[in-house]
């Protein structure tokens, strides 16, 4: 059997197992099939895993999150489709990974407000409505707020001109890196190491947190400062699943989601630890200052919004009002 055929079968078998999975331990307790776009134990899913543990260890509640796995059980760019259709009940996935289904989803990276501020201002209700309509999911939690995106390189640059560089991207970085002149190639996180090792790319976009999880520090020479945007990874619940829960179960999950979001208040501190650790590993900082810094940050937001507005003019305009200062 060819590798490709084997992969096809593994995928089919995995999805079949997932479909068989919806279990009810007793009439009132519900078990939700949960899949992550990131490997278990990785930095990006750290707070989400704390949330799963907290819910599952709470004996007073009647919701269980049955954690099935990460990218090894489902390709991360297919997870959005799986939670939209109900193949999984709960997905931990960034908006950038399902822009094919909902282009505006990636705009949350441009939020200038924290999730707790969005909840307080009332913007949250409208955002939740957008995801109900556009994705058939309930947007339960906005995680990784305050973790920033960065540009990592194997070749130095001395200003914002990235022409001649080939960079690994996802939709998060696409418009921005292109605007600065780079050529881009999209890969899931699981292919970054090999792309660097083979010299297929001269760098990549990734958050300030997490480059050690898959050993990328071995293939990284420089990090450009400043970082840009906020990282956004959502906890999405299939809308039919969400509506099948009791009021009590929904209220409970919402309460725990707020707890989960507030864990991100530690990000400024975690980010400085990550910078120090990268320095120790020999990654040099390329610090853009003055006008170059201004160009870098302004271009990030302008190119980011331009792409969103081109792909989703109405929803993009509305979301921009809700999440910009
Ligand atoms: O770089 C990526 O794979 C990406 O878009 C992302 C988004 C959120 C968290 C981590 C990575």
CA distance linking residue 167 with residue 182, whole number of Å? 7
Which ligand 1 atom sits nearest the alpha carbon of residue 172?
Answer: 5
Ligand 1 pocket, 189 CB below 6 A?
Answer: yes
Going by alpha carbons, the residue nearest to atom 1 of ligand 1 is 206
Q: Cα-atom radius of gyration of the chain, to the nearest Å?
A: 20
pLDDT number for residue 94:
98
pLDDT number for residue 5:
45
CA of 259 to the centre of ligand 1 (A): 22
Q: What is the pTM of this model?
A: 0.93
Ligand 1 pocket, 203 CB below 6 A?
Answer: no
Mean pLDDT of the region 106-116: 98
Mean pLDDT of the region 197-224: 98
Ligand 1 pocket, 103 CB below 6 A?
Answer: no
pLDDT number for residue 27:
55
Ligand 1 pocket, 105 CB below 6 A?
Answer: no
Cis geometry, peptide bond prior to residue 226 (ω within 30 degrees of 0)? yes
CA of 62 to the centre of ligand 1 (A): 32
The structure tokens 């003019």 sit at 313
Ligand 1 pocket, 206 CB below 6 A?
Answer: yes
Ligand 1 pocket, 192 CB below 6 A?
Answer: no
Ligand 1 pocket, 233 CB below 6 A?
Answer: yes
Residue 215 — φ and ψ, nearest 5°? 80, 20
Ligand 1 pocket, 309 CB below 6 A?
Answer: no
Ligand 1 pocket, 304 CB below 6 A?
Answer: no
Ligand 1 pocket, 151 CB below 6 A?
Answer: no
Ligand 1 pocket, 204 CB below 6 A?
Answer: no
Q: Ligand 1 test: best mutation among 47, 92, 94, 195, most atoms within 8 Å of CB?
A: 94
1 falls in which pLDDT band (50, 70, 90)?
Answer: very low
pLDDT number for residue 308:
98
167 falls in which pLDDT band (50, 70, 90)?
Answer: very high
Token pair for 308: 């969103």
Consecutive H or E run containing 175:
helix 171-179
CB 178 within 8 A of CB 162: no
Ligand 1 pocket, 167 CB below 6 A?
Answer: no
Tens digit of each residue's pLDDT (9 = 90 or more) over 276-308: 999 999 999 999 999 999 999 999 999 999 999
Q: Ligand 1 test: best mutation among 71, 95, 110, 205, most atoms within 8 Å of CB?
A: 205
CA distance linking residue 215 with residue 1, whole number of Å? 31
Token pair for 182: 């780079």
CA distance linking residue 174 with residue 185, whole number of Å? 9
CB 65 within 8 A of CB 56: yes
Tens digit of each residue's pLDDT (9 = 90 or more) over 234-265: 999 999 999 999 999 999 999 999 999 999 99
Which ligand 1 atom sits nearest the alpha carbon of residue 188?
Answer: 3
CA distance linking residue 170 with residue 151, whole number of Å? 12
Mean pLDDT check: name the lowest of 11-25, 132-146, 194-208.
11-25
Beta bridge partners of 183: 166
Tens digit of each residue's pLDDT (9 = 90 or more) over 46-96: 999 999 999 999 999 999 999 999 999 999 999 999 999 999 999 999 999
């Amino acid at each position: 059997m060819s590798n490709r055929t084997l992969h096809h079968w593994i995928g089919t078998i995995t999805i079949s197992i997932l479909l068989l999975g919806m279990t009810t331990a007793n009439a009132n307790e519900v078990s939700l099939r949960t899949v992550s776009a990131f490997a278990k134990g990785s930095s990006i899913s750290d707070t989400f895993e704390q949330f799963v543990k907290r819910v599952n260890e709470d004996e007073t509640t009647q919701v269980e999150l049955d954690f099935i796995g990460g990218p090894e059980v489902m390709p991360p760019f297919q997870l959005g489709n799986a939670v939209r259709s109900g193949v999984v009940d709960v997905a931990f996935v960034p908006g950038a990974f399902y822009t094919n289904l909902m282009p505006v989803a990636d705009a949350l990276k441009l939020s200038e407000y924290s999730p707790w501020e969005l909840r307080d201002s009332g913007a949250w209700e409208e955002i939740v409505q957008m995801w109900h309509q556009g994705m058939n999911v309930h947007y339960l939690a906005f995680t990784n707020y305050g973790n920033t995106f960065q540009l990592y390189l194997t070749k130095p640059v001395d200003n914002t001109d990235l022409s001649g560089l080939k960079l690994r991207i996802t939709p998060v970085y696409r418009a921005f890196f292109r605007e600065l002149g780079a050529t881009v190639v999209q890969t899931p996180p699981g292919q970054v190491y090999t792309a660097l090792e083979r010299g297929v790319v001269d760098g990549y976009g990734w958050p300030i947190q997490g480059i050690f999880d898959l050993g990328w520090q071995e293939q990284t020479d420089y990090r450009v400062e400043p970082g840009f945007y906020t990282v956004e990874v959502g906890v999405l619940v299939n809308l039919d699943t969400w509506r099948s829960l009791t009021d009590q179960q929904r209220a409970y999950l919402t309460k725990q989601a707020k707890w989960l979001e507030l864990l991100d208040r530690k990000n400024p501190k975690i980010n400085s630890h990550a910078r120090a650790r990268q320095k120790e590993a020999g990654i040099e900082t390329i610090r853009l200052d003055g006008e170059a810094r201004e160009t870098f940050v302004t271009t990030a937001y302008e190119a980011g919004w331009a792409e969103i507005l081109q792909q989703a003019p109405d929803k993009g305009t509305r979301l921009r009002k809700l999440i910009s200062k």
